[in-house]
A and B are shown apart, each in its own frame.
Chain A
Amino acid sequence: DVKVTQSSRYLVKRTGEKVFLECVQDMDHENMFWYRQDPGLGLRLIYFSYDVKMKEKGDIPEGYSVSREKKERFSLILESASTNQTSMYLCASTVPGTPSGNTIYFGEGSWLTVV
């Protein structure tokens, strides 16, 4: 059974802390994505990666960075957490090429609260 695993489901962090959100997939997918979900704003793409050590900015990269040192792992980093980064974060992975709903897999999400 395919899996995208987000290691932390619920986190509470203080303003200014450095925060790491980890995502691991076991499908040998090239592409990995980080989204955040906010009420009324839907899912917005933060960063994505199409290969090891490769990354590209999505629509809202400010305040975030990412790391892809191994194919199976894509980390989202909040360098200095702020309260407006309180959100649900979703990781996804897929193969390149022709998109199909059946080949895009999401993790269960990480709820981050910054106080």
Chain B
Amino acid sequence: DQQVKQNSPSLSVQEGRISILNCDYTNSMFDYFLWYKKYPAEGPTFLISISSIKDKNEDGRFTVFLNKSAKHLSLHIVPSQPGDSAVYFCAATGTMNYGGATNKLIFGTGTLLAVQP
């Protein structure tokens, strides 16, 4: 039972254009969401996060949008650069994991982004 889904396994974008990566979740207890970028043979690196009390968070070229009613979030990268080519994972965690307990992350299946020069 996949609680966090990324329905697009791959995405190809021209350099300079916008990349939009999507993520859906099913568990209404999730209230904190993160995006990670991963190159082959390396561990994931943190990109950006958003709390459920917000609907948008921006950091440089990266913006994450959250639509709680639709249980959907998206990552926008503008402008896209060839160095952005990687696998992107969204991840979610919930309040039940706070307060001294583990903050367990549930990951999506990933989207391979290819930015063409």
Supposing A40-B9, A48-B104 touch, asked if A101 and B46 sit within 8 A by C-beta, the answer is: yes
Q: Is the CB of A41 within 8 A of B109?
A: yes
Supposing A31-B103, A97-B100, A108-B41 touch, asked if A42 and B6 sit within 8 A by C-beta, the answer is: yes
Q: Is the CB of B98 within 8 A of A42?
A: no
In the complex, chain B residues whose CB is within 8 Å of the CB of A42: 4, 6, 89, 107-110
Q: Does A25 contact B (CB under 8 A)?
A: no
In the complex, chain A residues whose CB is within 8 Å of the CB of B49: 100-101
Q: Does A45 contact B (CB under 8 A)?
A: yes
Q: Identify which of B43, B48, B93, B109 contacts A99 (C-beta below 8 A).
A: B93
Majority SS at the chain A contact face = strand
Question: Which residue on A lies nearest to B93, using beta carbons?
Answer: A99
Question: Which residue on B lies nearest to A56, using beta carbons?
Answer: B102
In the complex, chain B residues whose CB is within 8 Å of the CB of A48: 102, 104
Provide the B37-80 mask, 1 if CB < 8 A to any CB of A, else 0: 00001111111110000000000000000000000000000000
CB-based closest 10 A-B pairs: A106-B43, A101-B46, A99-B103, A42-B109, A43-B107, A101-B49, A50-B102, A101-B34, A42-B107, A108-B43
Which residues of A does B touch, CB under 8 Å? 4, 9, 31, 33, 35, 40-45, 48, 50, 56, 58, 90, 92, 94, 96-102, 104, 106-109, 111
